[in-house]
Amino acid sequence: MKLKVITSNAGKVAEYQRSLGDLGIEMEHYRLPYDEVQSSDLEEVVSKGMDAIVAQGIRDFIIDDSGLFVDALKGFPGVWSAYAQKTIGNDGILRLLEGSADRGAEFRCCIGCDIAGQRIIVTGVCRGTITGEQTGDGGFGFDPIFTHDGGPTFAEIPMELKNRVSHRGIAVGLLVDELRKRGLV
């Protein structure tokens, strides 16, 4: 069984290979432009993205979309996380939260998998809090301002630990569970 990982990010392919390779699924990096719908809902972005890919005649693939959802900002930056990271950055998020006692936030990762004519969509959630300042130089994106347990940020913990507790790690686990439940692996 071979799945195309449709992304511009080669790092994601390696991550899926690590998690799904043991199940006998081989990952292939596949670059394909497709229309992303504008929606404030990750699942809808993924599901419509899958429709657009299937409409191009492509089957047996994985796509994903993730983001940081901040409680006090009513879920912002959410589906606009990549854009917010590029524009206002971590400092911008910290400024928006200045003086706010509510620091709750969560990372979400939605994976869409088209396999053997079936569609699986799962979402992994990692709850935590936004710190008062940026700390750590590991990871990427919002890692320096997010802590899952009130301790060190995602940019300060070992990658193996982040992969275990993160939204992406949880989503991959849910995908594996669903593949097993359906007898696909």
Interface residue list for ligand IMP (CB under 6 A): 65-68, 81-82, 85, 107, 139-143, 154, 166
Question: Would residue 41 show up in a list of annotated catalytic residues for this protein?
Answer: no
Q: Which residue is nearest to ligand IMP (CB)?
A: 141
Q: Which of 65, 137, 143, 149 is catalytic?
A: 65
Q: Cβ distance 168 to 66 under 8 Å?
A: yes
Which CB, 99 or 150, lies closer to ligand IMP?
150
What minimum distance in Å lies between the beta carbon of 78 and ligand IMP?
Answer: 9
Residue closest to 93 by CA, chosen among 79, 109, 73, 66: 73
Please report how close the Cβ of residue 185 comes to ligand IMP at its closest, in angstroms. Answer: 24
Report, in Å, the least distance between residue 61 CB and ligand IMP.
16
Q: Which residues are catalytic?
A: 65
